[in-house]
Amino acid sequence: MAFVFLFGIVGTSNAAESFGVTTIDNNQLMINSVAYGNNMRVMVEKGTEKYFYSMNNTQEFIPLQLGDGVYTVKLLKNIEGNKYQVLGKSEANISQWNENVYLTSSQPVYWSEQTAMEGLAASLFAETDSDYQKMLKAYKYMVNNIKYDYEKINYLSDSYIPSIDETITSGQGICYDYSALFAGLLRSQGIPTKLVKGYAAGVDVYHAWNEVYVNGSWIIIDTTFDAAYYQNDMTVKMAKSQLEYQKVREY
């Protein structure tokens, strides 16, 4: 299960908040704010698209996955229920967008080589050259070693961001964790990988999966769904049909 955020914007605060937005390589935003915590959000708008992110730390990195154009960035504070107030606003005009956004360490796929993932990646991808073989090894690791945590969703807040290290260490997680870890592993190898949210055939809740760019095309892969098969001694086709997946958001 992944999260769906529902917001109502009730107005703009006159409070003087320190809020800064910096563009990095035309595919990522660095957000700095003295106001942060589980009651804070960042809203990114471009055209009719709206994406919401958690502001859990003084600095967060946000992907610019919507191509060239003007992105409006707003810092929001929860004031009651699902009502949020605008504390700050900025704009970023992107004119040389590139798909390296799907290699970045940015919310909700935060990855770093100086973590538990470094050791895992070193062992998984040793003597493996092709992107396809790396994808296959990461896939086999995920479906055979990461178990679904059926209790976790019951105590997570809607500000939750996956921790790749925690998923590796615990060996379990929800679909959000599966897709973040899989994306982080492949991005660390220079393989463009999306974390996607939406709906899938056979899954009755809002879901998360991946798209991986190898051999000139994007391949849909759902390690959460497939792990249930492999861990019950059954097999399933790795590459999924686009007809079975309804994309709502991609990161």
At 250, phi and psi to the nearest 5?
A: -140, 145
- Let me know the angle formed at the C-alpha of 60 by 112 and 111, rounded to the nearest 5 degrees: 15
- Structure confidence at residue 10 (pLDDT): 54
- Structure confidence at residue 127 (pLDDT): 85
Residue 130 exposed, middle or buried by CB count within 10 Å (0-12, 13-18, 19+): exposed
Write the DSSP symbol of residue 114.
Answer: S
- Structure confidence at residue 18 (pLDDT): 83
Specify the CATH number for the domain of residue 221. Answer: 3.10.620.30
Look at phi and psi of residue 11 and say left if phi exceeds 0, alpha if psi is from -120 to 50, else beta. left
Q: Are residues 80 and 174 in the same domain?
A: no
Contact yes or no for 67/97 (Cβ under 8 A): yes
Q: Are residues 121 and 145 in the same domain?
A: yes
Segment 88-117 shows an average pLDDT of: 93
Q: Are residues 121 and 220 in the same domain?
A: yes
Segment 37-42 shows an average pLDDT of: 95
pLDDT at 32 over 80: yes
Strands 59-63 and 69-80: unpaired
CA–CA distance, 174 with 180 (Å, rounded to integer)? 10
Residue 176, in any domain of the structure: yes
Write the DSSP symbol of residue 65.
Answer: -
pLDDT band at 16 (very low <50, low <70, confident <90, very high): very low
Higher local confidence (pLDDT), 235 or 193: 193
Cβ neighbours of residue 159 closer than 8 Å, sequence gap 6 or more: 38, 39, 40, 41, 54, 56
Q: Tally the domains of the chain.
A: 2
Write out pLDDT tens, residues 110-148. Answer: 998 778 998 999 999 998 889 999 999 999 999 999 999
pLDDT band at 47 (very low <50, low <70, confident <90, very high): very high
Residue 67 exposed, middle or buried by CB count within 10 Å (0-12, 13-18, 19+): middle
Tokens (6 digits) for 153:
């969703």
Q: Directed axis angle between helix 223-230 and helix 175-187, to 10°?
A: 110
Residue 109, in any domain of the structure: no
Contact yes or no for 108/161 (Cβ under 8 A): yes
Q: Are residues 22 and 65 in the same domain?
A: yes
Q: Are residues 146 and 194 in the same domain?
A: yes
Task: Give the three-class secondary structure for 23.
Answer: strand
Q: Are residues 13 and 88 in the same domain?
A: yes
| Cα within 13 Å of Cα(139), Cβ side | 23
Give the end of a domain, one of 103, 129, 157. 103
Give the end of a domain, one of 103, 130, 154. 103
Q: If you average pLDDT over every residue of the chain, what do you get?
A: 92
Residues in the chain: 251
What's the one-letter identity of residue 156? Answer: L
Helix (H) or strand (E) holding 170: helix 164-170
Q: Which of 187, 7, 3, 22 is nearest to 101 (CA)?
A: 187
Question: Domain span at residue 197?
Answer: 116-250
Q: Are residues 172 and 197 in the same domain?
A: yes
Percent of the chain scored above 70 by pLDDT? 93
- Let me know the angle formed at the C-alpha of 34 by 50 and 82, rounded to the nearest 5 degrees: 40
Q: Are residues 244 and 139 in the same domain?
A: yes
Helix (H) or strand (E) holding 80: strand 69-80
Residue 2, in any domain of the structure: no
Specify the CATH number for the domain of residue 52. Answer: 2.60.40.10
